[in-house]
Each structure stands twice: as C-alpha cells, then as structure tokens.
Amino acid sequence: MRSEDGEGIMIDLSGMTITMASGKGGTGKTTVAVNLARLLAEAGQEVQYLDCDVEEPNGHIFLRPSIVSSSASRVMVPVVDQEKCTSCGECGAKCQFHAIVNLPGDTLIFPGLCHGCGLCSAVCPTGAITEGVRDIGVIEKGKGAKEIEFVHGILNVGEAMAVPLIKEVKSCRKDGYVQIVDAPPGTSCPVVATLNGSDAVIMVTEPTPFGLHDLKIAIDVARMLDIPTGVVVNKDHGGYPPLYDYLETSNIPVLAVIPEDAEIARHCSRGLIILESLPRCMDIFQSLAANLEGLLDTRSVHGRRAHL
C-alpha cells in the first residue's frame, strides 16, 4: 500500500473514496478536501475531486479547474395528456410526494415535489401519463493543476431536489482514481447520498459547542452507513475538553489538527491552497494522509470480522 514520493512515504489510495463531512457548516471541509487532493496529486496519485455540495459548491474556487464539459442534469417528471385523462384520481391518491393534484377535469403536476419514481404513469388506467424531463442543475467537468480531475454539480437556484444531482456527480467517478469528495453541511438526505459508498469519511470539526453538537449527529450518520470515520480538528486554539472526551469515548481517531491562525484564514479567504501558499501547513496534511492509512486498516479488520 506504500509508495515513495521522494520526500516522505505516502499511502496509495487508488480506487478509494474519501469524503469530507462535518454536520456544522463552515468548519473547513473544502479546505481539507482541496489540500488533501493536491497533496495526493503531487505525490503522483491519480486524483478525482467530486464536489457534492451542489447547493454551494466552492472547490473550484481553490482548484481553479479549466472546465471542458458542461451538461444539464435532468430528472424525470410526469406529463399528462389531458385528452386521455379521465380525472379518476388514481395518480394523485398514490403519489407519496404530493406532486400530483387531481381537480375535476384537470390534473396538475408540481415538478419541484416529484421524485421521478414513475408510479403515476404505472398506475394510470388510461395511459394518460408519460414521462418528460426537467433540468435541476448543471454538471461541469474539468482538470485542475497537477492533473486533478474535477467534477462539480451546481443546483439551479430555487430547486429543492439536491439528491439526484449529488448522485449524478458521484456517478462521474473514474475507476482507479482516488476520489476526494466534498459533502454538503448538515446530516440529512443530501449528506447520506454523498457519504453512501465511501471507504472513509473525514469529519472536519471545530472545538466549539456548535461544532461538537453537529459532529455527533454527523458521526451517527457515518455509523449508520458503516463507514470508518476520523476527525480533523480545525481552528484549534489549545483544546476543548468535551470534544476530545467524546472522540476518546467513541474511539474515533484525530487525523490532524489545524490551529486557529489568522494567516491561514486570510489565505483561505483568497482561495489559496494553504499547503502551497503556507509551506508550514505541509506537515498537517502529510500527517492527515499518513493517519488515513490507519483508518482504512480499521476497515479491513472490520471487514474480516464481518465475514466471520
């Protein structure tokens, strides 16, 4: 699993999917993700960066990829042929998402609520419902420095359906690459859709009551999905005992600590990758990469146990 990169020893993560998550927003997910991606790429690994924070994607601000392709992301949506529709009410009664309302002589579709499950067209006794498509956002692909393959989804403003776009970003994964995935904040369905199938999750937190409260919920999500989890403590200023007590009790490793530092904050505010612009940050991300190996080992032990 190891390869020499000239300066230090770097684990080979090819084929692995490593996701940054946090619960609380603004803890530094994107900072960790872009720096880890750059570190691995510089060590000669093939890296693909998948930005799944489709509501507010920010990875491109740091990686500055040249976008080579852009395509609309579409979901299925019902189309009613009012000529064939008998207003029987079957579709509206069965739709779990309240996306169809049957009025006498008219069947209304609310595309923003539709999950594209196809149930309405399947239950329509007169074949009045066919399926059309609608755009929910855009998928852009490109290449950043150090040959990093870049993909992000941009949700249309006013669109509520983030999950199908997140799944489409993830479906762009290239085999053999290490995938660095940036998750949205929160702990509900968009986060589940992003985390599902990851080999490891790096929870980026900050040593405050808000950070800890949301971290606990996010770790519960990772546990539910059975994904090995480690933590990066960002904006550390000499410790917050409740955080470290929780991590110790829960047996969750600290992979790296990033100090609270005005210069780091300034560099991030300008969209800089700090391991390049502030060489003293290199050690932080090298220890993160090294500690990831232990996390993935935990998984193989865990996997063997599961097979017994």
Partner 1 sequence: MKEFVVVSGKGGTGKTSVVASLACLIEGKALADCDVDAANLSLVLSPRILEQKEFAAGKRARIITEKCTSCGICRDMCRFDAISGDFVVDTVSCEGCGACFFFCPASAVEFETPLAGHCYICATPADEPFVYAELFPGEENSGKLVTMVRTEARAQAERFGLSRILIDGPPGIGCPVISSLTGTSLAIIVTEPTASGIHDLERVIELTRHFQIPAAVIINKSDINLDCTDSIEHYCVQKDIRLLGRLPYESAISEAQRQGKTIVQYAPDLPAAKAMRGISEQIKTLYKE
Q: Is 256 in the site for partner 1 (CB under 8 A)?
A: no
DSSP state of 295: H
Q: How far is the CB of 306 from partner 1 (least distance, A)?
A: 16
- Kindly report the CA angle at 235 between 49 and 8, in degrees rounded to 5? 55
Residue 195 or 289: the one with the smaller Cβ distance to partner 1 is 195
Give the closest residue to 184 by CA, choosing from 200, 173, 169, 199: 169
Separation CA 201–CA 26 (nearest Å):
17
Tokens 């692995």 label which residue? 16
Host H or E run for residue 142: strand 129-143
Q: How many residues does the chain have?
A: 308
Residue from 65, 144, 153, 190 in contact with partner 1 (CB under 8 A): 190
Please report whether residue 186 would count as binding partner 1 according to CB under 8 A: yes
Which residue, 160 or 301, has its beta carbon nearer to partner 1?
A: 160
Among 4, 86, 174, 266, binds partner 1 (CB under 8 A): 266
CA-CA distances (angstroms) from residue 97 to 117, 120, 271? 10, 11, 40
Among 52, 218, 288, 295, binds partner 1 (CB under 8 A): 218
Q: Which of residues 117-176 bind partner 1 (CB under 8 A)?
A: 117-119, 122-123, 155, 157-162
Copy the structure tokens of residue 106: 């008219």
Question: Which helix or strand (DSSP H or E) is residue 41 part of?
Answer: helix 29-42
Q: Is the distance from CB of 12 to CB of 291 less than 8 angstroms?
A: no
**Binding of partner 1 by 265 (CB under 8 A):** yes
* Minimum distance, C-beta of residue 221 to partner 1, in the bound complex (Å): 4
Segment interacting with partner 1, rule: CB under 8 A, options 6-14, 48-56, 244-252, 277-285: 48-56
Contact in structure between 200 and 228 (CB atoms under 8 Å): yes
- Residues near partner 1 (CB under 8 A) are 22-27, 30, 54-56, 58, 61, 76, 94, 96-97, 115-119, 122-123, 155, 157-162, 184-192, 196, 206, 208-210, 213-214, 217-218, 220-221, 224-225, 235, 237, 240, 260, 262, 265-266, 268-271
